[in-house]
Structure 1
Amino acid sequence: MAQFEALHPPLHTRPETRLAASSSPSTLASAPRPATHWHIGHEARDLGAIFDPDISLAVMQRRIDATLKMAVKAQSSGAYPLRMRWRGPISDLREALERYLPAPDAGAALIEDICVLGEAMGELFEVKDIGMRLEMTQSAMCPRFHVDRIPVRLVTTYDGPGTQWLPEHAADRLALGHGQPGHQDICLAPGEIHELRPGSLALLKGECWPGNEGRGLIHRSPVVPNGSRLMLSMDPG
Structure 2
Amino acid sequence: MRHNTAAPLEYSKLNKTATCQISPCANVLSNIYNKEVTLTCFSNKSSWAISHAAQLFAKQNLGTVIQYQGEINKDLLEEIVFKLEGSTHASLLAQHIELMLEMFQVLFEPKEIGLRLIACDTSLSPHFHQPQNLVRMASTLGGLGERWIAPDEVKFLPLAPNQLKPEIKAPLPHHISQLQDGDIALMKGSQWIDHEKSAITCASPAFCNNEFKLCIYIDFIE
Tell me whether the two structures share a fold, i.e. TM-score over 0.5. yes
CA, structure 1 residues 78+179, in 2 after alignment: closer, same or farther (shift >3 Å)? farther
Instruction: Name the structure 1 match of 2:44.
Output: 62
CA, structure 1 residues 102+79, in 2 after alignment: closer, same or farther (shift >3 Å)? farther
TM, length-normalised to structure 2: 0.79
Query: Which runs of structure 2 are paired with 1:165-176 in the superposition (5 Å)?
Result: 165-173=148-156
2:113 aligned with 1:130, yes or no? Answer: yes
Q: Percent identity?
A: 25
Structure 1 stretches of 5 or more lacking a match? 1-33
TM, length-normalised to structure 1: 0.75
Q: Which sits farther off after the overlay, 86-95 or 199-208?
A: 86-95
Query: Which runs of structure 2 are paired with 1:148-159 in the superposition (5 Å)?
Result: 148-159=131-142
CA distance, structure 2, for counterparts of residue 93 and residue 158 of structure 1: 20
Q: 68, 85, 95: which is aligned to 1:86?
A: 68
One-letter amino acid of the counterpart of residue 218, structure 2: M
SS at the partner of 2:124? coil
Instruction: Name the structure 2 match of 1:50.
Output: 32
Instruction: Name the structure 2 match of 1:24.
Output: none
One-letter amino acid of the counterpart of residue 60, structure 1: F
SS at the partner of 1:131? strand
Q: 187, 193, 201: which is aligned to 1:210?
A: 193
One-letter amino acid of the counterpart of residue 23, structure 2: G
2:54 aligned with 1:75, yes or no? Answer: no
User: Which contiguous aligned blocks of 4+ residues in structure 1 show a shift greater than 4 angstroms?
Assistant: 79-82, 173-176, 178-181
Instruction: Name the structure 1 match of 2:215.
Output: 231
CA distance, structure 1, for counterparts of residue 50 and residue 140 of structure 2: 12
2:143 aligned with 1:160, yes or no? Answer: yes
Instruction: Name the structure 1 match of 2:20.
Output: 38
CA distance, structure 2, for counterparts of residue 65 and residue 143 of structure 1: 26
Q: Is 2:116–2:216's contact at 8 Å kept on the other side of the alignment?
A: yes
Q: Is 2:53–2:88's contact at 8 Å kept on the other side of the alignment?
A: no
SS at the partner of 2:81? helix
One-letter amino acid of the counterpart of residue 41, structure 1: S
Q: 199, 202, 209: which is aligned to 1:219?
A: 202
One-letter amino acid of the counterpart of residue 131, structure 2: D
Q: Is 1:98–1:104's contact at 8 Å kept on the other side of the alignment?
A: no
The root-mean-square deviation of aligned C-alpha atoms, in Å, is 2.9
CA, structure 1 residues 104+73, in 2 after alignment: closer, same or farther (shift >3 Å)? same
CA, structure 1 residues 167+127, in 2 after alignment: closer, same or farther (shift >3 Å)? same
Report the Cα offset of residue 82 of structure 1: 5.1
Report the Cα offset of residue 167 of structure 1: 1.0
Report the Cα offset of residue 71 of structure 1: 4.0
CA distance, structure 2, for counterparts of residue 101 and residue 56 of structure 1: 32
CA, structure 1 residues 184+149, in 2 after alignment: closer, same or farther (shift >3 Å)? closer
Q: Is 1:35–1:168's contact at 8 Å kept on the other side of the alignment?
A: no
Report the Cα offset of residue 193 of structure 1: 1.0
CA distance, structure 2, for counterparts of residue 179 and residue 136 of structure 1: 37
